Amino acid sequence: MFPIIFFLISNLRTIFHPYQPNVVYIEGFNNINNLNDDKIYFLKKLFESYPLIIIKNIQNINHDNIISLLSPLDNSSYNHTYIYKSFDRSDKYEWKSDMLTSIVSSIYLINESLVGGGIEFISTENIYNYLNNYEKIAAKNMLINYNNFKLPLVFQADSGYEKYKILLLPTLFQNVSGWNLKDSNRWMKHFMYNKILPLRFNIQLKKNDLCIFNNRRLIYSYVPYSKYLSNRGFFLYSSILTNKSLSGIKPNKEDIYSSINAAYNCNWINSRSASLSSFKEFHNYYNK
pLDDT at 161: 74
Mean pLDDT of all residues in 92-108: 85
Cβ 47 vs Cβ 217: under 8 Å: no
Cα first-last separation, the chain: 54
Average pLDDT of the residues of the chain: 84
With 0-12 / 13-18 / 19 or more C-beta atoms within 10 angstroms meaning exposed / middle / buried, residue 216 is buried
Domain count, the chain: 2
Looking at the structure, tell me whether residues 35 and 113 fall in a common domain: yes
**Does the pLDDT of residue 278 top 60, yes or no?**
yes
Looking at the structure, tell me whether residues 51 and 169 fall in a common domain: no
pLDDT at 31: 86
Distance CA 212, CA 22 (A): 12
Looking at the structure, tell me whether residues 37 and 117 fall in a common domain: yes
Range of the domain at 112: 13-123+202-242
**Does the pLDDT of residue 136 top 80, yes or no?**
yes
Q: What is the pTM of this model?
A: 0.88
Convert the pLDDT of each residue in 247-262 to its tens digit: 888 887 766 777 889 9
With 0-12 / 13-18 / 19 or more C-beta atoms within 10 angstroms meaning exposed / middle / buried, residue 29 is buried
Looking at the structure, tell me whether residues 222 and 93 fall in a common domain: yes
Q: What is the CATH number of the domain that holds 233?
A: 3.60.130.10
The rounded percent of the chain whose pLDDT value lies above 70 is 84
The mean-pLDDT minimum among 28-42, 87-101, 109-123 falls in 87-101
CB atoms within 10 A of CB 67: 16
Convert the pLDDT of each residue in 2-36 to its tens digit: 344 444 455 788 899 888 999 999 998 888 888 88
**Does the pLDDT of residue 90 top 90, yes or no?**
no
Looking at the structure, tell me whether residues 251 and 174 fall in a common domain: yes
Q: Give 265's pLDDT tier (boundaries 50, 70, 90).
A: very high
What phi and psi, each to the nearest 5 degrees, are found at residue 221?
-150, 140
Looking at the structure, tell me whether residues 108 and 54 fall in a common domain: yes
Distance CA 198, CA 109 (A): 26
Looking at the structure, tell me whether residues 179 and 169 fall in a common domain: yes
Amino acid letter for position 10: S
Q: Give 145's pLDDT tier (boundaries 50, 70, 90).
A: very high
Convert the pLDDT of each residue in 49-58 to its tens digit: 999 999 999 9
Looking at the structure, tell me whether residues 258 and 156 fall in a common domain: yes
Looking at the structure, tell me whether residues 177 and 212 fall in a common domain: no
CA nearest neighbour of 97 among 248, 247, 237, 202: 237
**Does the pLDDT of residue 158 top 90, yes or no?**
no
Q: Is residue 264 part of a domain?
A: yes
The rounded percent of the chain whose pLDDT value lies above 90 is 46
Q: Give 195's pLDDT tier (boundaries 50, 70, 90).
A: very high
Q: Give 192's pLDDT tier (boundaries 50, 70, 90).
A: very high
Q: Give 228's pLDDT tier (boundaries 50, 70, 90).
A: very low
pLDDT at 2: 38
Mean pLDDT of all residues in 82-111: 74
CA nearest neighbour of 102 among 209, 225, 245: 245
CB atoms within 10 A of CB 94: 13
**Does the pLDDT of residue 230 top 70, yes or no?**
no
